[in-house]
Chain A
Amino acid sequence: MIFAGLPFATLATIFGAAAAVMVGLYILKLRRRVVAVPFSPLWQKILRDKEATSLFSKLKRLLSLLLQLALLALLVLALGDPRAAATLIKGRNVVVLVDASASMQATDVSPNRLAVAKDEVKRLIRGMGGADRMLIAQMDAAITPMGPMSGDTSELERAVDSVKATDARADWPRALRFATDTLRNVDNGEIVVVSDGNLGEATDSSGPVHLGDVKLSYMPVGKAKDNVAITQFSVRRYPLDKSRYEVMLEVKNTSPDPADVELTLLGDGMLVDLTKLRLKPGERLPRFYPNLSGASRTLEAKLAVVGDTKDALPADDHAYALLPERRRAKVLVVSTGDTYLEAALLLDEYLDVTSATPLEYATKYAQKTNTFDTIVFDAATPAELPRTNALYLDPRGPGSPFKIDKELSEPGFDKIDRKHPIVRFTALDQVNIAHGHSFKLEPGDKVIGASEGGGPILVAGTRGGHKMVAMGFDIRESDLPLRVAWPVLLLNTINFFTDEDASYLSSFRTGDVWRIPVGQGPTQATLKLPGGQEQPVPVHEGRAVFLGQRAGFYDLELPATPDQKPGASGADLGAAGNSVHFAANLLDDTESTIAPQEKLTVDGKEAGAVSAFHVGVRREIWIYLLFIAIAITALEWITYHRRITV
């Protein structure tokens, strides 16, 4: 027996003092009332009784005192909050993994699976043995222990209450690894999984999870299989004609019955398309909406069931996407005149091109380079590094950030890093070049094109925190400008600078770590979640990092920096002013397949049913002590007033 409340010494003191007072009070002779009794035989009776019962009366007093002392002892003991000493010695150590993934929002059980799961866990807590300890952890895309390993039921119940549903998948191997880490070197470890069982394989990149001696129990939740889900939703601009875009929407019927659904596509909240579909059991139906154009920025897809069709999981019936906004990129061309360059830049209407001679650049623009997104230096090399991204064509001057290694005669693109975004959709192999020069590389530089034996002639790197690309020949001394590859290369480079990549996809996936491009500069940004809450997120290498677990539209507010380009914050997603907008979706097959699994197998072992949690003994002894004390009070009250004790 140990005391979790007041220490024993204090209890003894309290008891001693209070008992002393009590005994003192009992020693005090109760002054009797003077009662005039006019009938002498009565007196005799009283005196006779008194003599006869004086011993009994003493005994009754003593009994009364003992009752009082017992009551006091109970109360003082309760103050000590006694616990069975076994708590410290032996008992089960249980990690309860409460599945809080999206499928747990299914409403097939009332009010939803997570609420039922939480009730189940509370039942477990109440059924804990005196020596058991438990840790409650929320399992979603991450694993979050809601409190320490504890035997305190109210603390555990509070932990259960703080479990909240997310719109993400469950990272089952991670959760299991956490549980095994927690139970390492602990006796009688047990993992209890409260879930609908759609967790997938317990395997990650380190291989399958091994449980060791830890016991695994499974408490299934949920009953229905009926669900129709949006499993893909995305929008993408066409690579060349960026004014048009295509939407992909995929719906899946995970239930064993056919389903009738109504599919709505909204652009900026306005109806774009409404389709009624009938899905066969288990059918996955992708739909494409090609050649869309217009000013819509936000896209939403909604799914509603029609007729008798049932849909138990509303969380996957709504998907969000944001059309990558096209922003006018400000381009400064510093050249003594190059028709090929100017003509190529005319091809993209979203470029805002300013031309300047090297002299004009020095006098007019050199001090405000940061107002441009990109500067193209055509055979010009200013002494000072521009404070923005720059493309250097044939840089030979002393101010070039890329130093010339050697002169080349008839170089060619013999080696091309085809994965680099600036050479996408180009064929540079056959470009013929009369003269050129190769570059000396600096650490971090990436060779995009190199001539056989001659070295790098197209290089990308970072100088002064800005992206720079250099090409080691005058395009007029090559047939590059006559090829389709030239404008594509140029526009790819500008897109590379502004991060407007053709591969941009319109939404993030919940449960992933998002790296939201925000551009160079800020180290912290404020993220506004779909619910309206705000929280700061760190920015690292131009990307804000966040583990997102909620679906919907997000805003990322960037702090204004003195170096800020007007309207050119990070220049990516839906950048407008100082904020970046993006969307996030669940879109997960496994989560949408809500049919509860009856069995759960990990490491070749099937999880057993939860057992031995039905003892039903509430572990706080003080509560029982107080109940007994109350009962004794009542008893004492009766005995005293009926003069059974005095």
Chain B
Amino acid sequence: MNRREILRRVAFGAVVIAVAAAGLWAYFHYVYYAGPTIAWKRGGKDYELLSPRNLIIAAVGAPFFVWMIGRSLADLPWPQRIISVILRIGFVTLLAFGLARLARTATTQKVCTVFLVDVSESVPDAAIADARAEIQKAIDQRPKDGLIRVITFSARPRVVPMADDATTAPALERHDAIERRERKEKADGKKLGADAATDISSALQLAYGLYPAGYLRRGVIFTDGVQTDGDLLAEANRAREFGVKLYTETYKRPVPGEVALRELRVPDKVRVGEPFELHADIFASRAQKAKATLKQGEAINGLDGVRTLDLKAGENDVTFKSVVRVAGEVTYALDLTDIEEDRFKENNHYTVTAAVPGRPAVLYVEGNTRRASYLASALSAQEFDVDVREPRELPSSLRELERYDFLILSDTPADAVSLTQQDAVESYVRDLGGGFLFAGGENGYGLGGWYHTTIERILPVRMDSEKKKDEPGVAMVLIIDRSGSMTGPKLEMAKAAAKATADTLEGDDMLEVIAFDTSPTKVVKMTSAKYRARIQNDIARIQAGGGTEIFSALDSGYQSLSITRARKKHIILLTDGEAPQGGLRELSQQIAAEGMTLTTVGLGADVDANLLRNMSDLGGGRYYGVSDPSQLPRVFTKETELVSRSAAVEEYFQPRVVAPADFLRGIDMGSSPFLHGYVATKMKPAPAQEILESEIGEPILARWHVGLGWSLAWTSDVKNLWAVEWLKWPGYGQFWGQLVREHMRQKKRQQFDMRAEIDPATGHLKASIDAIGGDDKFENGLDAKFFIKGPQPSQEAKTLDMKQTAPGRYEIDFPLDRYGSFLLHAALSKPVDDGRGGIKMAQVAESYGHVTNPYPREYLALAPDAVTLARAAEITGGKLDPQGFKEVFDPAGQTIVYHMDLWKWFVGAAIALYLLDLLMRRMRLFDRKKTVRPSKAATA
């Protein structure tokens, strides 16, 4: 092999590689990546070159052909050669255009119709058969170029295989039948309950994928319009955008017999021991009987368990009575059985769960705890937790009081309750919304020295009740020790006590003040109490000094009273030291014998307590041993109250109902036994509300709102003194139970309204809470935890976070894939300072709700929704129940634009041109007869 040969081979190889590389490059450049397209518009039509780069072929080909013709050896005249090259260039250009894939928009009126057939559980077999007959009719009537596709749908859609030229309608099967066959199960398997649903919009979405390009799109939906998922109307909008004209046909088979339990409702608030009604919404397609069994938990509902219902056609509202005995979650299940004609068994069962709050707690503070058992046991029988305590055990902190829903303070003297405790009671009522009942007795109201106290301020009654006009006044003598030992605060407090007495007395009462040391001095001679200022001036002038000589002072007082005319005559003796006892006992007896009373007050530890107690016993009064002088004013006013008010009215009477109150419902007050007495008080102005009154119109039971809570005054007692006959009355427990229940603290925490529902379109549980504070403010920035428990009775719990979506609004939205009843609870908390410089979350509010997802909505037995179907059809330009299929298949002047590839035309034209080119070469068209002159070369 010589060098030239080698060079030639190498060159050849190089050329082959180059050609291959060029081919590969061309392939990727022109074929694989078509590159950008070129589009233009002409005469209302859009033209587009999909692979415009292929036009380069023509551009490269033309010079090549021209160049070759210049080197041609063919025996053709020049004109013919020129024509030939033009034809060949034309041929290649046409092919290049074909390869460049010129396309233009074209219009057509061919129609493709997709039939969507509802084969869901709610559709009877006969209706599906009707749909198939309709499809057969459509096949018979379809135009030649028309296409028909069929989809069946229930929860999910399926395409029914069908040839383009089929002449018979395909079989329509229920999906559960198909699935069973797919799973190779026997036909007697149970129904696919959980999957029962109708989703028309998914079926439509599947249909969009069945329309070939270049066909007008039509859809015919056979359905009863009951959709459980998705939204046909929203989908119709999209169908319209997609160019699908929808026709809807409702199934026209008569509704078969059906009884469906649509809803079972429990009141929002169910309380332990309180009867309530459950409502059942039952739909019956025709009048018939059914047996209803209501279960509370596992057991048949006690009050109203099994019943035969006479259902009328349409909606029935059936009520069941029930009562919850134990707090906690209660699930009710209602079953309908023994129904003559019923299509679905699935919808005859419904469960609902309610959270019943625990027994309310009552704190019962009784001054005389030995007698506390009557009310305590009555309230316990009324499903309350009762905590009986002595007055000193009354909590003085809100934290402790917060545990109780209601507070009863009964027959307790004011001095047994400290100011802190009283303040705690006030803010318990005002701020925590607690309920408070102040009950009377010997130590109640004025008798207990409650005048001018915090407790009086929050009660709806006043304790300074006016005496009746015809009653004579009180004459009172205060005998105050001003011996040397009284110097200082003792005397000052004694003077203050005397002044307070003057204040407490009514205008027509009489008062004398005697200060004594070794001898008595009448500081104030027997004077009408209306001259208070003068009396108090005189009292202020009392000076300490000297020894202690009681007898003469007491006698002086006794003498003054003897000559004074008054209904009640009373002496208060205050001393702080020992004194000669001579004659005091006798004088005391004398005083009592004259119808006067004597109360003694011993101040400090040095007093002869025995003597003083003796004297007061003999004198028909009381003895007070006071160690702290600051107690004196309280003791004096209490004494004054006790005496001057004659506040205890010990008469037999039957309380009269003045104003109706909820808690009196069901209690026959007319049959209530007599009460044996009460403490006289006076109503405060409205909004204080008098509910019961005595025969002379004095309040027995009154109430009003204090802040968030209720404050009630019961001026009689609650035990075996005045209310002794009530204890035997059957209404006793009910009366107090209902009273407490109505006025007790309603919520432990602020409760916000929760709305929870199952979104029909998505099956999601949507819950929202509106957190709006009392002052019209939105509660923002709370951390909201959402707890869902269920389906009952399973205690499966899930915790989710709610999201704040707007001022004061918290929402959650998640798929609920189980059936049954669910309890919902939300806890809203807020970051607060934990006191150690850190932040902790404190719960500020809560919210409760429940939701039931009883069974697939498919079984709700909803009436066919023709309106939705009509609207959906209208919006796409179709209509409900079209008259025959002419209308459906009729393009109605509508055309559809599709892309028409033109390359075939170019290839066809190229073939024609090629034949012409061949003709041009095979036939001599020019200088046929002409003899050509010898060429120059030949001549040469």
Contacts and interface: CB of A to CB of B under 8 A. Distances in A.
Interface of A: 5-6, 14, 18, 21-22, 25-26, 28, 30-39, 42, 68, 71-72, 75-76, 78-79, 81, 126, 135, 137, 142-145, 147-150, 154-155, 158, 174, 177-178, 181-182, 184-185, 203-207, 232, 234-236, 238-241, 246-248, 250, 286, 288, 290, 410, 412, 414-416, 418-419, 424-425, 429-430, 432, 434, 441, 443, 452, 502-503, 505-506, 513, 523-524, 535-540, 545-547, 616, 618, 622-623, 626-627, 629-630, 633-634, 637-638, 640-643, 646
A31 B71 contact: no
Secondary structure dominating the interface of A: mixed
B933 A36 contact: yes
27 contacts: A18-B911, A22-B918, A30-B923, A33-B77, A36-B932, A39-B938, A142-B235, A145-B209, A149-B209, A178-B206, A181-B157, A205-B817, A206-B229, A234-B805, A238-B777, A238-B778, A247-B807, A418-B268, A419-B755, A432-B660, A505-B809, A524-B874, A545-B231, A547-B238, A630-B57, A637-B65, A640-B74
Question: A28, A76, A524, A536: which has the most chain B beta carbons within 10 Å?
Answer: A536
A541 B158 CA distance: 31
A21 B912 CA distance: 11
Interface string B27-68: 000011100000000000000001000000100010011001
A155 B803 CA distance: 44
Interface string B95-123: 11011010100000000000000000000
Interface in B200-217: 201-202, 205-206, 208-213
The 5 A-B residue pairs with the shortest CB-CB distance, nearest first, are A205-B763, A145-B209, A234-B806, A641-B72, A545-B233
Nearest to B661: A432
Contacts of B50: 154
Contact of B68 (A79, A144, A545, A637): A637
Contact of B907 (A78, A236, A627): A78
A5 B904 contact: yes
Contacts of A414: 662
Contact of A38 (B72, B755, B807, B938): B938
Contact of B88 (A68, A203, A290, A633): A633
Q: Which of B234, B933, B934 has the most CB of A within 10 A?
A: B234
A205 B68 contact: no
Nearest to B112: A148
Given A39-B938, A523-B871, A205 B237 contact: no
A538 B807 contact: no
A392 B660 CA distance: 25
Contacts of B161: 185
A641 B899 contact: no
Contacts of A415: 267, 277
Contacts of A177: 156, 202
Nearest to A186: B159
Nearest to B85: A637
Given A545-B233, A626-B99, A506 B871 contact: no
Contacts of A623: 31, 99
Contacts of B197: 206
A634 B31 CA distance: 20
A135 B875 contact: no
Nearest to B155: A206
A178 B807 contact: no
A178 B871 contact: no
Q: Which of B91, B157, B237, B868 has the most CB of A within 10 A?
A: B237
B939 interface: yes
B761 interface: yes
A288 B237 contact: no
With a 10 A CB-CB cut-off, give which of A6, A174, A547, A641 has the most chain B CB atoms: A641
Nearest to A617: B32
A412 to B, nearest CB: 6
A154 B101 contact: yes
A298 B665 CA distance: 53
A174 B71 CA distance: 68
A70 B571 CA distance: 146
Given A537-B237, A641-B71, A38 B934 contact: yes
Contact of A37 (B77, B778, B934): B934
Interface in B801-849: 803-809, 815-817
Given A32-B75, A236-B806, A622 B903 contact: yes
Contacts of B781: 286, 288
Contact of A25 (B68, B314, B816, B919): B919
A41 B159 CA distance: 85
Contacts of A546: 234, 237
B859 to A, nearest CB: 15
A418 B770 CA distance: 14
B879 to A, nearest CB: 13
A204 B230 CA distance: 12
A535 to B, nearest CB: 7
B205 A143 contact: yes
Contacts of A506: 806
Residue of A432, A513, A535, A618 with most chain B CB atoms under a 10 A cut-off: A513
Interface string B758-780: 00011110000010100011101
Interface of B: 31-33, 50, 57, 61, 64-65, 68-69, 71-75, 77, 88, 91-92, 95-96, 98-99, 101, 103, 155-159, 161, 194-195, 197, 201-202, 205-206, 208-213, 229, 231, 233-238, 240-242, 267-268, 277, 314-315, 317, 659-662, 665, 742, 753, 755, 761-764, 770, 772, 776-778, 780-781, 803-809, 815-817, 867-868, 871-872, 874-875, 899, 901, 903-904, 907-908, 910-911, 914-915, 918-919, 921-924, 927-928, 930-935, 938-939
A79 B902 CA distance: 11
Nearest to A240: B776
B209 A35 contact: no
A523 B99 CA distance: 52
Contact of A432 (B158, B213, B659): B659
Contact of B807 (A30, A246, A424, A540): A246
Contact of B809 (A143, A236, A290): A236
Nearest to A627: B99
Given A25-B922, A206-B195, 16 more contacts: A33-B932, A36-B932, A79-B904, A143-B205, A144-B205, A205-B815, A205-B817, A206-B229, A206-B763, A234-B806, A234-B807, A410-B665, A513-B231, A540-B871, A545-B234, A641-B71
A549 to B, nearest CB: 10
A432 B95 CA distance: 96
Nearest to A231: B803
A246 B778 contact: yes
A6 to B, nearest CB: 7
Contact of B875 (A25, A78, A247, A536): A536
B205 A178 contact: yes
A512 to B, nearest CB: 9
Contacts of A236: 778, 806-809
Contacts of A68: 918
Nearest to A28: B922
A235 B809 CA distance: 11
Nearest to A539: B871
A30 B772 CA distance: 104
A262 to B, nearest CB: 22
A509 to B, nearest CB: 9
Contacts of B77: 33
A408 to B, nearest CB: 12
A430 B661 CA distance: 7
**A206, A241, A537 pick with most chain B CB within 10 angstroms:** A206
A513 B230 CA distance: 9
Contacts of B867: 540
Given A234-B806, A247-B807, A545-B231, A205 B762 contact: yes
A286 B804 contact: yes
B922 A248 contact: no
Contacts of A638: 68
A505 B806 contact: yes
